[in-house]
């Protein structure tokens, strides 16, 4: 009987030892997983830190004018003013081109009828400069009755002709 009691105690000790070893292995596995996750988190934060440093270096090297930065509100005003300067230069170039084209031909002398803002205007030009502008009636027939002049019929392009 003593042998069976001793045998049972030895079996219980062996079971406790094996369970203790199993708990140790589980704890080691958990710590190993936590270490790997910590290393991955450090790699990710290091990558983002390097990207942040590169962005700071880029902002430092390049002027803020070339980068559309919503953080800097003063750059928007500069862009707007530069756009207006460019548009003014473009309009000056266009007027210069039209003036040079007019210089090649004789200046316009005569009368021009224009319909603007639902009214007909009579413009009188002399040497290419508008001398007088008269506001006539809203329609051609009323203008003809009012001034007894031969006003030509206005022709407008259709939308599908303009798109082509």
Helix (H) / strand (E) element for 58: namely helix 2-61
- pLDDT-derived band of residue 157, with 50, 70 and 90 as boundaries? very low
pTM of the model: 0.33
For 94, the token pair is: 């266009």
- Parallel, antiparallel or unpaired: strands 119-126 and 129-135: antiparallel
- Averaged pLDDT of the chain: 76
Q: Where are the domains of the chain?
A: 1-66, 107-152
List phi, psi (to 5°) of 115: -105, 115
Residues 98 and 105 sit within 8 Å (Cβ to Cβ) = no
User: pLDDT tens for residues 46-59?
Assistant: 999 999 999 999 88
For 144, the token pair is: 């003809």
Residue 123, SS3 per DSSP: strand
User: pLDDT tens for residues 19-78?
Assistant: 999 999 999 999 999 999 999 999 999 999 999 999 999 888 876 665 555 565 554 455
Residues 106 and 125 sit within 8 Å (Cβ to Cβ) = no
Max Cα-Cα span within the chain: 144
Given 3-state DSSP classes, what are the helix, strand and coil percentages for the chain, each rounded to the nearest 5? 65, 15, 25
For 105, the token pair is: 């031909």
List phi, psi (to 5°) of 152: -70, 155
């Amino acid at each position: 009987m003593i042998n069976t009691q001793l045998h049972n105690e030895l079996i219980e000790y062996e079971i406790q030892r094996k369970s203790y070893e199993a708990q140790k292995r589980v704890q080691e596995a958990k710590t190993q997983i936590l270490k790997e996750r910590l290393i991955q988190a450090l790699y990710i934060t290091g990558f983002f830190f390097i990207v942040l440093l590169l962005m700071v270096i880029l902002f430092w090297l390049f002027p803020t004018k070339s980068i559309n930065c919503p953080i800097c509100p003063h750059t928007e005003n500069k862009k707007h003013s530069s756009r207006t300067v460019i548009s003014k230069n473009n309009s000056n170039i266009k007027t210069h081109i039209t003036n040079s084209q007019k210089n090649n031909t004789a200046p316009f002398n005569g009368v021009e009828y224009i319909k603007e803002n639902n009214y007909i205007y009579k413009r009188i030009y002399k040497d290419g400069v508008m001398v007088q502008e008269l506001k006539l009636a809203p329609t051609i027939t009323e203008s003809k009755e009012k001034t007894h002049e031969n006003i030509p019929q206005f022709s407008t392009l259709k939308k599908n002709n303009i798109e082509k």
